[in-house]
Structure 1
Amino acid sequence: MVVPLELKPAPQGSGDPSSAAAARELAERVARPTAAERDRDHRWDPALFAELAGARPGPGLAGPLVPRALGGGGLSATQTCALLEGLGEGARDPGLALAVGVHAVLATVPLRAFGSPRQRERYLPLMASGDWIGAVSLRQTQGAALAPTVTARPGTPGLGGWVLTGELDLVAGGPVAHHFLVVATHDGGGRTAFVLDRSTPGLLIAESAPAAMRTCAWGRLVLDGCHVPDDAVLGSVGGAGTEVEPLLASLDWVFSSAPWLGVMRALVRDAVDGVGERRVFGRPLVHAQSARFTLADLATRCELASGLLYRAAGQFDSGGRPTRQDAATARLFVAAAARTVAEGAARLSGPLALTSDHLIARAHRDALFFAETGGGTEVLRPVIAASLLGLG
């Protein structure tokens, strides 16, 4: 079962300008001033997240896809993409934008789509308010084949439930999360998704951060014989491979890419400023045809990325989710475009833009990391090819 993310028609092909503008203005005001400092310190700012999550009136970013009846924004997928795009452009902070997107989309939508009434009523209102943060390992967004193994076995007779054992790293939001979405493999085959509260006995949480996306709160989960009740199962037992995992992959490919569209637009603006201010060999760089061609290429990549991304997002609003080909194509192109735009902006802006405090340097570093997540080209290109050949 796949639950549509929106009950009313949503425009396809472009985002909601008002949503993007509101999120951009909020993020520029509350997040951008400290972005470089938080990046240097590898620091997650809970007060900043709370302000972004609870903005009223305005684009509360914690639960845009949570139904209004459960305290969320009740937005469409295209509107949510626009919010995340605006966040990326205004905050100029890819790590923060990733953390918000993982909580607001990857952790909430599977609960909305496959959660029991009790699970939805317990988790979603507090997630939408930002009081409870949900976390997901980026190792598990593309299925069990790419993830470190977490195993599930039935609990001891009389106790019921399940016992989970294993480890997961790259858990976005791990150190600050109230609960975690975990997919576990059964000895006899099949996989089941679980929602684990932080207080689960046997669950250990450690900080463990990659070199990039420094403003996201990263963690590692160690599941040492965690006993979870039957009502922690998300979806059906053994059904994660056809329920939660395909949805999670599409959500990751589309919504984790949305902030990067905003970051790319910010980079193009910086490149325009750099071209206008720099002189090379005594001549204004703005007069150089090569610089103008580069600017045109960067702007074109932004618009192509936008078209692919919002086409995929619009399919969520049509009663299902994007085809694997469309979602993978959007992610593959955005990841490549982010690197190209960062490199082009660096060439046009000159040496001063390469300092660690500048968006261009931070975005170039984080874009390399972004390109390797979501399965990377090793997953995305075969998915596209298989779709073209009618094999999947």
Structure 2
Amino acid sequence: MRFEWDDDRDGLGRDFRRLGEETLGKDVAERDRAGVFSREDWLACAERGLFGLMLPPEYGGAGRGAVDHVRAMEGLGRGCRDNGLMMAIGAHVLAAEVPIWKFGDERQRRAYLPGLAAGRLIGANAMTEPGSGSDASSLATTADRDGGFYRLTGRKLYVTNAPVADLFVVYATVGRHLGFTGVTAFLVERADVGVSVKEQAGKMGLRTARWGEIELDGCRIPASRRLGAERQGGAVFAQTMAWERSLLLAPWLGVMEREIEACVRHCRRRRQFGRHIGHFQSVSNRLVDMRVRWELARMLLYRAAAELDRDGRAPTATIFPEAGKLYVSETAVEVFTGLTQLYGALGYSSEGDTERHLRDAVGMTISSGTSDMQRVVIAGKLGITWPDTETTDTDTATDADTASGARYPGDTRTETSGGAR
């Protein structure tokens, strides 16, 4: 495994760090309080090619890999203080662009990907409902075939980007009796008849990434806007979640590194009891632990990205998407909780960034599946939750069992989402 960057990737990180430092998030504190999304900053990212970084050139992209995406977003996170903006970018690229790129037909790709890559269109992913989040087999949104059309009826909640989105990847069932196997994906445009979008109540953090509710009232869309085959929605969603879980936390590598370094400088200046506070082991040990966890988080996330580049498709059989998402998100919460303690009242005050980063970090443990759900999925992939049978000795389960496609409770959950989306 290489631990150094070539000039190309190093330059990519530096360029997006500079964009974040010089252009983005100048009024983030005010916009965070008001819950305002910056269209200007969004377009600035689009102009630098961020949204199309991984897409093939024929669809307006740069044809780069997942590791390049992480490097770019890590750089952006290092420079940009608007975590909500970076969350909105992740939802757009990973949960809207990726499924169209991987499962769309040529007409769909050419119709939507260039606009999404250029930032002219904003994408969103609609799965969560009032009665289902992690349990996608309980979807209540229905898709009834009507000749060459489908009629979609249902309600989606907590859809990141919904208030500003032009295109939604919507998951519905073609038969509720089919459970998870009936799930099918569709491309729904904001202007379609029968679509209404409204903003939902304010949230604890990530406030500059707006979220909302989508009501589908017999929305009639052509069958040509079905994404993938009928009843293939589970596979679409599984791939989407694997990409999102692998890459969504990339900006937080940069955010954490910047804020840890800033706190080190603070601890070298701040004096109490006649000494710089960094001389107290309770302070220095906390900073050391933060740095070590950050290093481990970084390696794990880049490993997940490397798996994507190696296979070309999200490796849903490995633990890296869920492990990366779980570890990096929980590390971010621990880091900003620790920084709050080290800064004291200043860290708790809205005068600084620390309390906002902590609120935002908590949201990252929920989006794309809660930490508990990541553990459930990983347990399933390890075979821990293999179902009870007449043979109760679970140690007899072999690699051949899992390779044969045998299902177990955790396996089905690799295809579901446990958080607000």
Same fold, TM-score > 0.5, yes or no: yes
Query: Does 2:328 align with 1:334?
Result: yes
Query: Does 2:331 align with 1:359?
Result: no
Gap change, CA 1:327 and 1:269, over 3 Å in 2: same
Gap change, CA 1:167 and 1:224, over 3 Å in 2: same
Looking at structure 2, the residues matched to 37 and 106 of structure 1 have their Cα atoms a distance apart, in angstroms, of 28
Query: Does 2:183 align with 1:191?
Result: yes
Flag structure 2 segments of 5+ consecutive residues without an equivalent. 384-401, 403-407, 412-421
Q: Does the Cα contact within 8 Å between 1:270 and 1:349 map onto a contact in 2?
A: no
1:173 aligned partner, one-letter code = N
Report which of the two structures shows the higher radius of gyration computed on alpha carbons.
2
The Cα shift of 1:127 comes to 0.8
Gap change, CA 1:147 and 1:93, over 3 Å in 2: farther
Gap change, CA 1:142 and 1:22, over 3 Å in 2: farther
Aligned-pair Cα RMSD in Å: 2.1
Matched with 2:51 is 62
Render the CA deviation track for 1:215-251: whole Å, top value 9, x for unaligned. Answer: 112221111111111011001111111x211111112
Render the CA deviation track for 1:306-328: whole Å, top value 9, x for unaligned. Answer: 11111011111112223441111
Q: Does the Cα contact within 8 Å between 1:202 and 1:226 map onto a contact in 2?
A: yes
Query: Does 2:220 align with 1:227?
Result: yes
Matched with 2:393 is none
2:79 aligned partner, one-letter code = G
Gap change, CA 1:43 and 1:230, over 3 Å in 2: same
Looking at structure 2, the residues matched to 38 and 276 of structure 1 have their Cα atoms a distance apart, in angstroms, of 32
Query: Does 2:310 align with 1:315?
Result: no
The Cα shift of 1:388 comes to 1.6
Query: Does 2:40 align with 1:47?
Result: yes
Render the CA deviation track for 1:256-294: whole Å, top value 9, x for unaligned. Answer: 111222221122122212212222233211222222211
SS in 1 for 2:26: helix
Query: Does 2:139 align with 1:139?
Result: no
Flag structure 1 segments of 5+ consecutive residues without an equivalent. 1-10
Matched with 1:79 is 68
Q: Percent identity?
A: 34
1:154 aligned partner, one-letter code = R
The Cα shift of 1:302 comes to 0.8
The Cα shift of 1:30 comes to 1.2
Q: How does 1:49-198 map to 2 (within 5 A)?
A: 49-55=42-48, 60-137=49-126, 139=128, 145=136, 149-155=140-146, 159-187=147-175, 188-189=177-178, 190-198=182-190
Looking at structure 2, the residues matched to 290 and 138 of structure 1 have their Cα atoms a distance apart, in angstroms, of 44
Looking at structure 2, the residues matched to 288 and 274 of structure 1 have their Cα atoms a distance apart, in angstroms, of 13
How many pairs were matched up? 374
Gap change, CA 1:348 and 1:69, over 3 Å in 2: same
The Cα shift of 1:376 comes to 1.0
SS in 2 for 1:125: helix
2:298 aligned partner, one-letter code = S
Matched with 2:391 is none
Which of 1 and 2 has higher RCO (CA within 8 Å, sep 6+)?
1
Q: Does the Cα contact within 8 Å between 1:151 and 1:166 map onto a contact in 2?
A: yes
1:210 aligned partner, one-letter code = K
2:21 aligned partner, one-letter code = E
Q: Does the Cα contact within 8 Å between 2:94 and 2:240 map onto a contact in 1?
A: no
* TM-score for both structures, normalised by structure 1: 0.90
**Aligned equivalent of 2:29, options 20, 36, 49:** 36
The Cα shift of 1:305 comes to 0.4
Matched with 2:340 is 346
SS in 2 for 1:169: strand
Render the CA deviation track for 1:190-215: whole Å, top value 9, x for unaligned. Answer: 11100101111000010114232111
Matched with 1:278 is 270
Q: Does the Cα contact within 8 Å between 2:38 and 2:85 map onto a contact in 1?
A: no
Gap change, CA 1:148 and 1:274, over 3 Å in 2: farther
Render the CA deviation track for 1:81-138: whole Å, top value 9, x for unaligned. Answer: 1112222221122211000111122211111111010000010111111111111247
SS in 2 for 1:225: strand
> Bigger shift: 281-290 or 298-307?
281-290
Render the CA deviation track for 1:302-355: whole Å, top value 9, x for unaligned. Answer: 110011111011111112223441111111111110111001111222321222
Q: Does the Cα contact within 8 Å between 2:188 and 2:221 map onto a contact in 1?
A: yes
Q: Does the Cα contact within 8 Å between 2:139 and 2:172 map onto a contact in 1?
A: no
The Cα shift of 1:73 comes to 2.1
Looking at structure 2, the residues matched to 149 and 269 of structure 1 have their Cα atoms a distance apart, in angstroms, of 47
1:22 aligned partner, one-letter code = D
Matched with 1:388 is 382
SS in 2 for 1:152: strand
> Bigger shift: 369-378 or 126-135?
369-378
1:38 aligned partner, one-letter code = R
